[in-house]
Chains A and B, each alone.
Chain A
Amino acid sequence: MARSSAAAKPAISERANRAADRSELFDDKFLKTLEHLHMVSRKVAQGNLRAERRTRKVGSGIEFADHRTYSRGDDFRYIDWNLYGRLDKLLLRLFEEEEDLYIYILVDVSDSMAIGNPMPKLHYAMQVGAALTYVGLANLDRVAIIPFGDRLVDRLPPSRGKNRIHRVFQFLRDCDIGGKTELADCMKDFVAMNKRRGLAVVLSDFYDPKGFEQGINTLRYNKFEPFVLQVYDKREAEPHLHGDLSLVDCETGDIREVTISKSLLEQYTQAHEAYCKELESYCTKYAIPFFRTHTSIPFDELVLKIFRSGGFLR
């Protein structure tokens, strides 16, 4: 019963206008909230989660990393004589090599992200992305922001220092939005354009008809650390619909005529939940940090949850 046509695709609706209007998204109150998050993140980093992040390189840094058995030719200066005294074994002290961490904030700006109540998912994702960016900048990480839809829309190059946050705000306000979700193509383009590996935080609803696996796999296969944040709206998970409707896909324009019944709604809710679980299972399977949130949860609450669960803060 489904049919697709360009004419059937709805024109820019009130929803789209609402999503496009981002002038009030990053105000002073928002900035204060970010500062508060930064403070909280420092406490969290100094607590339980200290040294959770491991550098792959072991070098001449000052931060102790590990021990290894002494081999011939190793520098005697790094032998841990204390341990030799206790264990009667020659162990060599290893130190982390200090390097900049690259964090890539990938924000889905497709048409499906314009849906949401009380705020569009796009706004929510941008606020979360801005918050993570701020914390990253404050930790002197290099943070880049890449909005994507059916392609990579734009790119805010990696930068460091929290004084860059206003530029981030401006970038997020001004970037183009709309289009379909083409996760696989966009991730493919992303890894091609960014040779420095790093943390790739993907903020999206993952409503890609072609599936999410290929996109995330692209990140994994190219040594990026994917960090999946699924944003959805409660209304789209549990829609309050009734009667005979023509359901129009906001991205593809596909029209599907249905008569909504209670059982159908229940089936849809189950299907939505199953889709989300599918994403979650996939991420769990590959040890990819995964967070699912809906727009009714305050963004700062989500960010704290991310901090506490680890994986983002060093």
Chain B
Amino acid sequence: MTIFTGYSGDLSQPKLEYSLATRGLSLWYDQFKALDDITISVKTGIITSLIGPSGCGKTTLLRCFNRINERYGNVTVKGEVTVMGRNIYDPDVSLIELRKTVGMVFQRPNPLPISVYENVVFGLRLHSESSALKRSLLDAAVEKALTEVGLWNDLKDHLDRKATALQLEQQQKLCVARLLPLKPEIILLDEPCSALDVNGTRAIEELMFSLKGRYTMLIVTHNMAQARRVGDECIFMLLGRVIEHGRTEDIFLNPRDPRTAEYIEGRYG
């Protein structure tokens, strides 16, 4: 894998060209083969969208990158998944470190039933000694994360409000915000707008644009218009296989595979 200097603003640190990659990845739920020999490389710092009809395995693929698939005991995986150049199925990989590096946003906003403040510092509390967490440090982390997702002005006086009582859009932004104090490299988004209305969707998309460059984002979406709007690159999946991976314009305007073309045109799915 080539090492590529100076993506995004951070010039001091050489960054990998590809943050996420799979090689020959297959996955079974019991006997059912959900992913079939998937080999992809996701570029650092851009937004890549995963599209395809229901049941094509896009969410399954997404959930491989932080190994959260494994919570259902019936999953078998073959092949290689690398995150930041490391195979995450190596025995010495720590799941905790992996999940700090790879954040995930879910379909339904799922802030925890605690205060806004505690939601944002949740990750810090999980991964640091409590003695290391000075109040001032936590306060700063909360302000920084909420500012980054554009919630600070709305919520700075309501930090002790229960997060589950916020509007859905705010909840979903909070779900992004709570990942940031852990300094992730990658954010996985699993249909993050499907529970939101038009304005909420726009807000989340704008948030994604503002985070672009600093984080590598992989978004699963059902909404082809959304894939077109937000995705720099696009991966089209069908029946557990990757059919086509390319720049979004190419996929939408000049698809190479007839199946992609038909899906884009809305013939099926």
Are A and B associated in one complex?
A: no
Q: Which A residues have a C-beta under 8 Å from some C-beta of B?
A: none
